[in-house]
Structures are given as structure tokens and as C-alpha cells.
Chain A
Amino acid sequence: MDASTNTPDSVMLTEAQQNPNIKSEKGQGDLPGDLALWIFIFAEMLVFGVLFVAYAFTRANNVALFNDSQLTLSQTSGAINTLVLITSSYFVVRGVSAIKRGLSKQCAHWLTGALLLGGVFISIKLVEFYAKFAADITMSTNTFYMFYLSLTFFHFMHVLMGMVILGSIIAKAHRGGYSAQEHAGVETGASFWHMVDFLWIILFPLVYIIR
């Protein structure tokens, strides 16, 4: 009798310890993925938000300088990169949708597509950075370029970080490490990638278009 009452508890404890993020334990209305990463996402949003607002108020005192310098940016590159990130986010959400149905390989394929688009974004940004440095434009050229280079480079680093996260998720998905029941890791990485996307959605009109 003692054995029959103790055994189920010990089995449940072991499962919980082995899978602390098990999906079935998440309640209605919880954030998708790991809460710890969401705290990081909110912190990153705050940092970018402060930088966006700092850019806007600095521009308010230097409108002519910002408008003239903005003309040297390629709106086409910025728009293409926006489309690239939006499409990569779509691929990521399709990957999440696939793993929710237990389709691990399909999930890995969608995420690989997103990773490749991340590579396209990085390549376009590198061409833009190279063009600026070739024209002897640096952060000390003027206030606009200080903001433009620091904001876009900071975002660039987040894209790189997102690509590393996607790469590790793809590798685990290929090994069959996720399932329809346990895919918190995929949702966590996806949330980070979408954050990178929507920050660019604000950055693009703010720095490239608004005048």
C-alpha cells in the first residue's frame, strides 16, 4: 500500500525535474516560451525604446542636419531589409506551427529559411556599413551618423544573436529534440526573433523615412 501511494508521486517529481518547461504545465494566458527570456526581451525593448526617443528628441534640435544626412541612406536597402525580416518572422511562425503539430523536420526547414534570410539581412547591412565607411563616414562625422551607426549596429548584433539562437534550435529540431508536447525552446527563440523584427519595424521609418 505504501509503495503504491509513493510511486506515482516520485514518478511525477522526476518528470517535472527533467522537463521544467513542459508545455502542459503552462497556464492559460502565459507568455509563449521561457519567462526568463521574456524579461530579457522587455529589457531590450526598453533600451531600444530609450534610443529611439533619444534619436527623435536630438533630431528635433537638429532637423536640417538630420534631414540632409538622411538623404545619404538607401531607403531601398532599408525597405528590402524590412521585407526580409518580416518574411523571416513569417518563416519562424510557420516553424512554430509545424512543431506544434509534431513535425520536427518541417519545423527545422522553416527555421533554416528564416536563418538564411537573417544572413541576407546581415549582408545588406554590411554593404551599407561598408559604403558609409568608404565615404569616410564614422560615428564622429555628425550626430545623425552617430545615432544611425550605433542604432543599426546595435540592432545588427541582435540579428546575429538571433541567428545563433535559431541555429541551435534547428540543430536540436534535426535531432528530434522537440515534440508537439515539448517545444518551449522553439517558442522562446521565436519570440526573440520576432522582437528583433518589430524593433526594425520601428527603426526603419524612424531613421530612414521620417523627415
Chain B
Amino acid sequence: MNNTHALSNRLLTIIWLILVALTIATFSIGEAGLSGKHVMLTLLAIALIKSQIVANYFMDLRNSKLIWRSIMFGYFLIVGGLIWLAYLIGLK
């Protein structure tokens, strides 16, 4: 199955460059010393997008059964959601 849906090396390189750009965005937010719940939400969203990209395109889960993709997406959503909740609690 993997051969049938194999990504081209060109697309893999584009995906890698997207991950690099998102990492630089995270670093820039940190360097600017930005904080607050909107910044936090942005950072979490970037981490979620990056993790999903790695899972779907590098780990090659995008063609896997729904159960496996759900476990992976659910993991990022639950862990990210709880980190978000904890951050909001910390603001009070």
C-alpha cells in the first residue's frame, strides 16, 4: 500500500520546509518574549499542526485505518487541550 501512495521526494522536501518555517515561527514568538492566551493558543496550534504533519506524512499514517489516525489525532488534541486548560488556570 505504501508504494501505491508513496509521496514524491519533492513533496517530502516541501513538507520539511514547512516544518522548518513553523519552528522558526515558534522560536520568533519566544525570542520576542510574547505571552498571553492568544500567543499560547498560537504556539499550541503550531505544535499540533507540526505533530500531525510528522504523523501523517513522515510516519505515513495518512493512509492508515481511521482507528490509528484517531488515536494519534486524539492524543495531540487531549494533551494539547489539557496543556491549554492548565495555562488558563495559571492565568487566574
A-facing residues in B40-92 (Cβ within 8 Å)? 40, 43-44, 46-47, 50-51, 54-55, 57-61, 63-65, 68, 71, 75-76, 78-80, 82-83, 86-87, 89-90
A side interface size, CB within 8 A: 51
Taken residue by residue from 34 to 47, chain A's Cβ proximity to chain B (1 for < 8 Å, 0 otherwise) reads as 00000000100100
Chain B residues lying within 8 Å of A180, measured Cβ to Cβ, are 3
Please state if A100 and B90 are interface contacts (CB–CB under 8 Å). no
Q: With contacts A31-B68, A49-B78, A75-B31 known, is A87 near B16, CB below 8 A?
A: yes
Residues from chain A with Cβ under 8 Å of B26 in the complex: 79, 82, 204-205, 209
Q: Determine how close the nearest CB of chain B comes to the CB of A61; give it in whole angstroms.
A: 8
Contact B82 A201 (CB under 8 A): no
CB of B21, distance to nearest CB on chain A (Å)? 11
CB proximity of A26 to chain B, nearest CB, Å = 7
Are B9 and A60 closer than 8 Å at their CB atoms?
A: no
Q: A60-B86, A208-B30 are in contact. Are A49 and B63 (CB under 8 A)?
A: no
Say how far B13's CB is from chain A's closest CB, in angstroms.
Answer: 8
Interface pairs (12), CB distance under 8 Å: A32-B2, A56-B87, A59-B86, A75-B30, A79-B23, A79-B30, A86-B20, A96-B60, A195-B59, A198-B54, A206-B83, A209-B26
Contact surface of A with B, Cβ cutoff 8 Å: 23, 26-32, 42, 45, 49, 52-53, 56-57, 59-61, 63, 75-76, 79, 82-83, 86-87, 89-90, 92-94, 96-97, 100, 180, 187, 190-191, 194-195, 197-198, 201-202, 204-206, 208-211
